[in-house]
Amino acid sequence: MNRINQKLKEDKKLLSIYFSAGYPELEDSVQIIQDLEKSGVDFIEIGLPFSDPLADGPTIQESSTKALKNGMTTQKLFSQIKNIRSSVEIPLIIMGYFNPILQYGIEEFCKKCKEVGVDGLIIPDLPVDVYSEKYKAIFEKYGLINIFLITPQTSEERIRFIDSVSNGFIYMVSSASVTGSSKGFGEETTKYFERISKMNLENPQIVGFGISDHETFSQATKFAKGAIIGSAFIKHFDKNGTEHISDFVSSIRPLT
């Protein structure tokens, strides 16, 4: 069973952390992954830097730009994590845009993911219908879970189609804005979380965008299986360095 599916079976609210590969320094990625697992995180999203990250807010855009300047590439990331499974067991998800994956070669990219132990992908600009028609068989051949995003504006019909194509979790965007732009959740967003919960989808939902502390994590997971934090984590090690990762994680969800 895929590590993502194994984790989703656990009886707790899940915490996923995003960071940009190659940031703050080019060779930091493996240590960050190891430290996040030791800190009790459930999933790790490894951001594959791209020059035109449409869904990302300023903090993640800046970290992506710096990572590219540091020399991060798709091949460099695969080289860095080629032995990652000798030291960590945590589910690993690469979040990236479709253009670099297409340039690398769809099947070759998926094959490489399997070789190094990546469990899933989040590709915000790959439409679910295109994936279903052209690429689903390739992803499944290499045991990869592809995770799709929904927003408050996504129609019920589209959500149910995404649910039918998915085999892991659904990334529930808390708002229509970019990452890192929200401060807490209002009544409208809470109603959206509740509405999706009442749809009784086959795949659990994990909320992203706007989660930055214990309070917003608790709000986001009231109706969902878990939550994803990116911008707030990057801001934390911008301020405190990469040596204090456990402090950030315990501030969001204390170890039990």
- Answer whether 43's CB lies under 8 Å from 88's CB: no
pLDDT at residue 54, as a whole number = 58
Domains of the chain: total: 1
What pLDDT, on a 0 to 100 scale, did the predictor assign at position 170? Answer: 98
Determine the Cα–Cα distance for residues 162 and 84; give it in Å rounded to an integer: 31
Active site residues: 45, 56
| Backbone torsions φ then ψ of 244, nearest 5 degrees | -115, 35
Q: E strands of 103-174, at which residues?
A: 120-122, 145-147, 149-150, 170-173
Task: Provide CB contacts within 8 A for 58, sequence distance 6+.
Answer: 180
- HSE-CB at 158 with a 13 A cutoff on CA atoms is 11
Q: What is the pLDDT of residue 153?
A: 94
pLDDT confidence of residue 184: 66
Q: Scanning the structure block, which residue is given the tokens 């939550």? A: 227
**Percent of the chain whose pLDDT exceeds 70:** 93
What is the pLDDT at residue 243? Answer: 84
DSSP state of 144: P
Orientation of helix 231-240 relative to helix 245-252, angle to 10°: 140
* pLDDT for 172: 96
- Whole-model pTM: value is 0.93
Separation between Cα atoms, residue 105 and residue 74, nearest integer Å: 11
Find residue 205's DSSP bridge partners. 170
Residue ranges of the chain with per-residue pLDDT less than 70 = 52-57, 176-184, 254-256
Task: Quote the domain boundaries for residue 144.
Answer: 3-252
List the CATH number of the domain containing 245.
Answer: 3.20.20.70
| pLDDT at residue 255 in the model | 60
